[in-house]
Amino acid sequence: MSDKLNLTLKIWRQASPGAAGEFKSYKLYDISTDMSFLEMLDVLNEELIQKNDEPVAFDHDCREGICGMCNLMIDGQAHGPDLETTTCQLHMRRFRNGDTIVIEPWRARAFPVLKDLIVDRSAFDRIMQAGGFVSVNTGNAPDGNAILVDKDDADQAMDAATCIGCGACVAACKNASAMLFVAAKVSQYALLPQGRPERTARVQNMVAQMDQEGFGGCTNTNECEAACPAGISVSNIARLNREYLRATLTGAK
Check the CA dihedral 164-170-173-177 and report its sign: positive
C-beta neighbour count of 41 within 10 angstroms: 23
Residues 6+ apart with CB under 8 A from 192: 149, 153, 154, 157
Q: What is the pLDDT along the chain (253 residues), one digit of tens a residue?
A: 568 999 999 999 999 999 999 999 999 999 999 999 999 999 999 999 999 999 999 999 999 999 999 999 999 999 999 999 999 999 999 999 999 999 999 999 999 999 999 999 999 999 999 998 777 666 777 776 777 889 999 999 999 999 999 999 999 999 999 999 999 999 999 999 888 889 999 999 999 999 999 999 998 999 999 999 999 999 999 999 999 999 998 875 5
pTM: predicted TM-score of the whole model, two decimal places: 0.92
* Domains, in order of start, for the chain: 4-114 (3.10.20.30), 122-250 (1.10.1060.10)
Closest CA to 240 of 198, 192, 203, 188: 203
What phi and psi, each to the nearest 5 degrees, are found at residue 11? Answer: -115, 135
